[in-house]
Amino acid sequence: MHHSEIRNSSTVFTTLETGSGDPVLFLHGFPDNHKTFSPIMESIAKKGYQCIAPVMRGYEPSTISHANKLHVVDLVNDVLGWMDDRRWDSVHLVGHNWGAIIAYAAGMYYPNRFRSITSLGVPLLKTFQDSFIWAPLQTFHSWYVALFQIPYLAELTIRSNQFALVDFLWKDWSPGFTPNQDHLAEIKSNFQNPGILSSALAYYRNLNDLFTESGRESIIGIFDTHITVPTQVLYGLNDGCFHKNLFEHLLNESDFPCGFRKIGFDHAGHFLHWEKREEVTKLILEWIEKNR
């Protein structure tokens, strides 16, 4: 496992990499970092794959961008830029949290560039409007999204009491799981860097942006998704971020005409790649080997 760099045009991103062979890109979410996939990457690399986990845009000082450059379509363009930089015609995508949202959108916009998608802990958001019927409690699960819309107050709340909200979200989203404290300490330390926390929150603040072209295009990519890339969705039945009914009742095979499977894990929550590491690694390997 080693650190290196990957580019999108003139912007340089730090990556964690291991192995050689067909490329597999790992996209992290919030509140997290690229090291969240390290153990999974090591296991998959041993099977003959090149595993790469970039630091997502805005999560390191060199990639802090104006908020208007942090829409889903901009983040998808980062993925394409990385692929062009390494001269990869196609890759497998593995995404957790925001990384899963970006993977879905990439599969919708550019299906010929991706061999497979594995989504961890996030359903297709196009079904979100039906959540009031199937998962009425989802509104309460999503309270943090409303908080994150408020500039300054959100940053102040997250930073207060030594970033206690980061600890709370991990425990609330994965009930009964004890997170790795060194990993959480790295996440908190990174959020202390000027501008990074606001950049990470801009992902949420741009969700309903109707005033820019990239904002409108991103909304279409999230809520009108039809993915012609083989896709598997892995989720925890005790997820405190997304209610299990969003996966079990609102994920339709018709939205994934080129291949689809979904698997729920009992006694696991949102960070299931930590909680069920061996099982998740096995399923990722099965999926990418099936769709090589």
Tens digits of residue pLDDT in 247-285: 988 788 889 999 999 999 999 999 999 999 999 999 999
Q: Whole-angstrom Cα distance, residue 38 to residue 18? A: 9
**pLDDT, tens only, 41-56:** 999 999 999 999 999 9
Q: How confident is the model at residue 10 (pLDDT cuts 50, 70, 90)?
A: confident
Run of H or E residues at 248:
helix 244-248
pLDDT value of residue 223: 63
Work out the percent of the chain whose per-residue pLDDT is above 70. Answer: 91
Question: CATH class for domain 2-291?
Answer: alpha beta
pLDDT value of residue 142: 86
Q: Whole-angstrom Cα distance, residue 26 to residue 34? A: 8
Q: Which residues face 23 on adjacent strands?
A: 50
Q: Whole-angstrom Cα distance, residue 94 to residue 237? A: 20
Which residues in 121-238 belong to E strands, given as ranges? 231-236
**What one-letter code names the amino acid at 163?**
F
pLDDT value of residue 66: 74
Question: What is the residue-averaged pLDDT of the chain?
Answer: 92
pLDDT value of residue 164: 98
3-state secondary structure of 187: helix
Sheet harboring 231-236: ordered strands across? 2-8, 11-18, 49-54, 22-27, 91-96, 114-120, 231-236, 260-265
pLDDT value of residue 145: 92
Q: Whole-angstrom Cα distance, residue 249 to residue 252? A: 8
Does residue 101 register a pLDDT over 60? yes
pLDDT value of residue 129: 56
Q: Whole-angstrom Cα distance, residue 125 to residue 139? A: 14
**Would you list the domain boundaries of the chain?**
2-291
pLDDT value of residue 209: 65
Among residues 242, 255, 232, 120, the alpha carbon closest in space to that of 173 is found at 242
Q: What is the DSSP letter of 142?
A: T
Q: How is residue 201 written in tokens?
A: 């929150």
**pLDDT, tens only, 191-234:** 999 999 999 999 999 887 666 777 676 666 666 668 999 999 99
Q: Whole-angstrom Cα distance, residue 50 to residue 47? A: 9
Place of tokens 């942006």: 209
pLDDT value of residue 9: 86
**pLDDT, tens only, 127-148:** 555 555 555 677 778 899 999 9
Does residue 85 register a pLDDT over 60? yes
Q: How is residue 59 written in tokens?
A: 């999560």
Place of tokens 């208007």: 68
Q: What is the DSSP letter of 128?
A: G
The number of angstroms, rounded, from the C-alpha of 63 to the middle of its chain's C-alpha atoms is 17
pLDDT value of residue 157: 97
Q: Whole-angstrom Cα distance, residue 191 to residue 3? A: 20
Q: Whole-angstrom Cα distance, residue 274 to residue 31? A: 14
Q: How confident is the model at residue 124 (pLDDT cuts 50, 70, 90)?
A: confident
Q: What is the mean pLDDT of residues 69-75?
A: 88
CA distances from 32 to 125, 183, 216, 274, 277 (A): 20, 8, 27, 12, 16
Q: Whole-angstrom Cα distance, residue 224 to residue 209? A: 16
